[in-house]
Amino acid sequence: MNGKEREKVTAIELLAAAKEARKNAYAPYSGFFVGAALLAADGEVYGGCNVESVSFTPTCCAERTALCKAVSEGKREFSAIAVVGGGKDGKTGFCPPCGVCRQMLSEFCGRDFRVILSSGDGEGEEVKVFTLGELLPEAFGTEKPFGSEKKK
pLDDT digits (tens, 9 = 90+) for 30-63: 999 999 999 999 999 999 999 999 998 899 999 9
Q: Judging by DSSP bridges, how do beta strands 78-86 and 114-118 pair with one another?
A: parallel
**1 has a pLDDT exceeding 50:** no
Catalytic one of 5, 63, 126, 138: 63
* pLDDT, tens digit, 9 for 90 and up, residues 56-100: 889 999 999 999 999 999 999 999 999 999 887 777 889 999 999
The band of 150, judged by pLDDT with boundaries at 50, 70 and 90, is very low
38 vs 143: CA distance, rounded Å: 26
63 is catalytic: yes
List phi, psi (to 5°) of 69: -60, -50
Calculate mean pLDDT across residues 2-11. 55
Which amino acid does the sequence have at 3? G
| Other CB atoms within 10 Å distance of the CB of residue 58 | 9
pTM (two decimals) = 0.85
